[in-house]
Structure 1
Amino acid sequence: MGLPDSSQDLSTEMEVDAFRRLFPLRFFERHLSESLRPDGRPLGKARDTIVNLGLVSSADGSALAKIGSTTMLAAIRMEVMSPSTDSPDEGCIAVEFHMPPICSPTVRPGRPADEAPVISKRLSDIFSSCDMIDLKELCLVSGKAAWMGYLDIYCLDADGALFDAALLSAVAAFSNLQIPAVALNDNGRIVAINGEQEENASIKEKEAVNKEKRKLTLKNIPFALTCILHKKYILADPTAEEESIMDTLVTVVLDSSDQIVSFNKSGGNALAGSSAIKSCVELARKRGKELKQILGEMDID
């Protein structure tokens, strides 16, 4: 029996790679006709997902979320602020999404990525519309002091479905958040409680705001799934390559009760009918169950 011709295998592999580079859409459509994608996934299947908590020791809460190669690191820093006169009993959350050049060759040094402010705004809108956080929980002293939470999300690898991974990392970071212990000192100022008796001697026990670190209650947890609509096909959780050659993207955001929080569509008009929308929502609900299981394993409510 003769040995396999390795040079022929290499030549075939090079020809496939050349065809993929020269005719990417035709390459993908050949796979789609067999209800598969080049990475071996069925059309409606999301990539493997990993979530790790508490990786940033200097943050009050942090998490890393990885969907396929798409990787996000979220970190939350809490600071005391004066609440607004319109909402004297509420704190505030500020969201900033960052895309450093290391995350993608399409991001140039010195120029902010166009997607960054858009994703920041969408995340802020989602947190508000689904009531994930009760801002009254962030109040320290009515009309005088409240918590300001700075959520920074850093994209470490931008390989498609950026919003989905960013939202997942943010939810996980909030679940990991430990609100610092603070109290009023003799001068009426908010100070941190560090556990040392001598240093805390000036704190008025009767005016302690919270004596120890505490978790933040997440009222309603949102999940997202982005799909590509191309001809008669619907592809869940696209890679960056798939997004670059297929125009129509749909992102469905559901809450803990599987209710639609947001539906965003960008690009062409393919499959814009109600049946396609229904299919995307069903895929999102299936994806939501997967993410709930992942987060549930880490005791995230």
Structure 2
Amino acid sequence: MAVKSETNDLSSEMELDAYRRLFPLRFHERHLSESIRPDGRPLGKARDTTIVLGAVASANGSALVKIGCTTMLAAIKMEVMTPTAEAPDEGCVALEFHMPPICSPLVRPGRPADVAPVISKQLSDTISSSGMIDLKELCLVSGKAAWMAYLDIYCLDADGALFDAALLSAAAAFSHLQIPVVSLNDDGRIVLVPEDNAGSMKEKEPVNKEKIKLKMKNVPFALTCILHKNYILADPTSEEESIMETFLTVVLDSSSRLVSLNKPGGPGLAQTSMIQDCIKLTEQRAKELERILNESISDMEVE
């Protein structure tokens, strides 16, 4: 009897899996009607999130972020540049978002993912408009030297809500960033001071005597929602994204200020009430992500 029961269970699982593959939308809608999702989450709940700071030892700042299975690795390298004439007292942030073939079977070797430049532009605009980074803090000598922060974000596993995870990884990497020690040499040029020589400071004039933590404010947090009929699905998986067309991404900062509202695709306009519900969900999610980020920073400082 036990063998027969196990055989029936296996047969049922195979039938369910076949139904899911052949009629994915019907499969998901059956769950939605019961206010549950195939992975067991309530409709408005995001996936479990973890942040690991200092994931890349050779970078000046780095972080590994996981939202469910979606995984992002962000790393920052600092280089000295000559500031522009239009902004002589400001540094710059240069961002690139990468999707190597390892992240998804949809990304083919030798071909950049179509969505990568879109997410890269969206990230750059969000970081700039949020005011998270005060570019004046990246100035070394007015009109002569400033920091260029090269931020590279690598998607290691693309399982939905890529922008949300990438933005969180960027914020986490900047929170971990330590600006290197530099000084003026005899030629009046800014030079990096090796860590083992930072205490002696034999150069002509120190610019900063120790590594500096970047002061961050108005940290932006994002939540992508799927709007399907009268349902709102927060933090969708790649499977959910592939079968439902209407998306809405809300970005709020740590003061609950609306940074951006983006509806990249889908038929028609979203109802005002649904947009308001998405904003409320984002407020809750932003508080949760801020807590996780602060806990990661505290753990790093203790170590």
- What is the TM-score with the length of structure 2 in the denominator? 0.95
C-alpha distance in 1, partners of 2:287/2:199?
A: 47
Matches within 5 A, 1:113-132: 113-132=113-132
Q: Which residue of 1 aligns with 2:147?
A: 147
Query: CA deviation digits over 1:42-98, x for unaligned, max 9?
Result: 000000000000010110000000000000000000000000010011000001000
For 1:29 and 1:11, the matched residues in 2 are separated by 23
**Aligned to 1:88, what secondary structure does the other structure show?**
coil
Superposition pairs of residues 205-284 of structure 1, within 5 angstroms: 207-269=205-267, 272-284=270-282
Cα distance in 2 between the residues matched to 1:18 and 1:66: 29
**1:188 & 1:256 partners in 2: Cα distance?**
40
8 Å CA contact 2:171–2:219 kept in 1: the answer is: yes
Which residue does the alignment assign to 1:169? 169
Equivalent residue of 2:215, what SS?
coil
* Structure 1 CA distance for aligned equivalents of residues 77 and 123 of structure 2: 17
CA distance in 1, matches of 2:36, 2:134: 43
Task: Provide the rounded CA distance (Å) in 2 between the counterparts of 1:186 and 1:32.
Answer: 69
| Partner residue, 2:301 | none
Residue range with higher mean Cα deviation, 28-37 or 195-204? 195-204
RMSD of aligned alpha carbons? 1.6
1:288 aligns to what? 286
With 75-84 and 189-198 compared, the bigger mean Cα shift is at 189-198
**Counterpart for residue 66 of structure 1:** 66
Q: Secondary structure at the match of 1:298?
A: helix
Deviations 1:144-169 (A, max 9, x none): 11000000000000000000000000
Q: Relative to structure 1, is the Cα distance of residues 103 and 196 closer, same or farther in structure 2, using a 3 angstrom cutoff?
A: closer
- Percent same amino acid at aligned positions? 71
Distance in 2 (alpha carbons) for counterparts of 1:114 and 1:196: 44
- Compute the displacement of 1:194 (Å): 2.2
Once residues 153 and 3 of structure 1 are traced to their aligned partners in structure 2, the CA distance between those partners, rounded to angstroms, is: 50
Q: 2:53·2:64 contact (CA, 8 Å) conserved in 1?
A: yes
2-side partners of 1:201 and 1:225: how far apart?
A: 46
- How far apart, CA to CA, are the structure 2 residues paired with 1:141 and 1:134? 16
User: After superposition, what is the alpha-carbon deviation per residue over 1:127-160, rounded to whole angstroms, capped at 9, x for unaligned?
Assistant: 1111101101000111111000000000000000
Shift of 1:224: 0.2
Q: Residue 10 of structure 1 aligns to a residue in which SS?
A: helix
Change (3 A) 1:142 1:245: same
Q: CA deviation at 1:186?
A: 0.8
Deviation for aligned residue 1:295: 1.1
CA 1:278 to 1:140, structure 2 compared with 1: closer, same or farther past 3 Å? same
> Residues 176 and 297 of structure 2 are in contact (CA less than 8 Å); yes or no, is this contact kept in structure 1?
no
* Aligned CA distance change for structure 1 residues 252 and 198 (closer, same or farther; 3 Å): closer
Answer whether contact 1:229 1:271 (CA < 8 A) is retained: no
Given that 1:186 and 1:202 are in contact with CA atoms closer than 8 Å, whether structure 2 keeps it comes out as no
- Whether the 8 Å CA contact 1:193–1:211 is kept in 2: the answer is no
Deviation, structure 1 residue 4: 6.2
Alpha-carbon distance between aligned partners in 1 of 2:238 and 2:96, rounded to the nearest angstrom: 22
- Partner AA of 1:298 in structure 2: S
Counting only pairs closer than 5 Å after superposition, residues 67-146 of structure 1 correspond to structure 2 as: 67-146=67-146
Counterpart of 1:164 in 2: which secondary structure?
A: helix
- Structure 1 unaligned runs (5+)? none
Deviations 1:207-238 (A, max 9, x none): 31111111001021000000000001000000
For the residues of structure 2 that align with 1:242 and 1:109, how far apart are their CA atoms? 25
Secondary structure of 1:74's match? strand
Between the two proteins, the alignment pairs up a number of residues equal to 298
Q: Distance in 1 between matches of 2:32 and 2:146?
A: 53
Call closer, same or farther: CA 1:98–1:200 in 2, change over 3 Å: same
Deviations 1:4-36 (A, max 9, x none): 611110000000000000000000000000000
**d(CA) in 1 for partners of 2:222, 2:59:** 25
Question: C-alpha distance in 2, partners of 1:266/1:129?
Answer: 18
* 1:230–1:270 Cα contact (<8 Å) kept: no
Contact kept? 1:231, 1:271, Cα under 8 Å? no
**Which amino acid in structure 1 is aligned with residue 180 of structure 2?**
P
Match of 2:20 in 1: 20
- Judged with a 3 Å threshold, the aligned counterparts in structure 2 of structure 1 residues 249 and 183 are, in CA distance, closer, same or farther, namely same
